[in-house]
Structure 1
């Protein structure tokens, strides 16, 4: 159970940070959490594939999830048009 809570907190922080970085990217609290979690999954797959490591620990996880969330918000904006 604590692992799920950590994913939700990291997702919320990453989604919130990504919504600040991407103009008009705010999807509300639940949307930011979902975008942050999906962004963490995307970053967990994409960043090692291209040889990028943002460190370990909670800060590295938040940074990676934020990068992934920005990518997800960009994809949402691209397909929403």
Structure 2
């Protein structure tokens, strides 16, 4: 059940972050991937700041923040390579 919940949270987080940053999502698999990597990144950032997220809502917020950071970083890298 934890894997399914993680995929659902990852998909939602990726979709929300895509809408916040570009105005569109990345497709189902793209949203899940961005949300899962963003969840990891958000967890690292939260731990560095001394914050903790608990529960489904906390995990979703942490994943969205991480996914937004991920999209921002990837966007900056793409712009510098062009």
- TM-score > 0.5 by shorter chain: yes
2:24 & 2:77 partners in 1: Cα distance? 13
Whether 2:43 is the aligned partner of 1:7: answer no
Larger Rg, first or second structure (1 or 2) = 2
The alpha carbon displacement at 1:34 in A equals: 0.2
Backbone CA RMSD of aligned residues = 1.4
Report how far residue 25 of structure 1 moved: 5.8
Q: Distance in 2 between matches of 1:31 and 1:46?
A: 22
Q: Distance in 1 between matches of 2:26 and 2:77?
A: 15
2:62 equivalent to 1:64: yes
TM-fit CA distance, 1:79: 1.4
Q: How does 1:2-81 map to 2 (within 5 A)?
A: 2-23=1-22, 26-53=25-52, 55-81=53-79
Distance 1:25 1:77 in 2: 14
**In the comparison of the two structures, how many residue pairs are matched?**
79
Unaligned runs of 5+ in 1: none
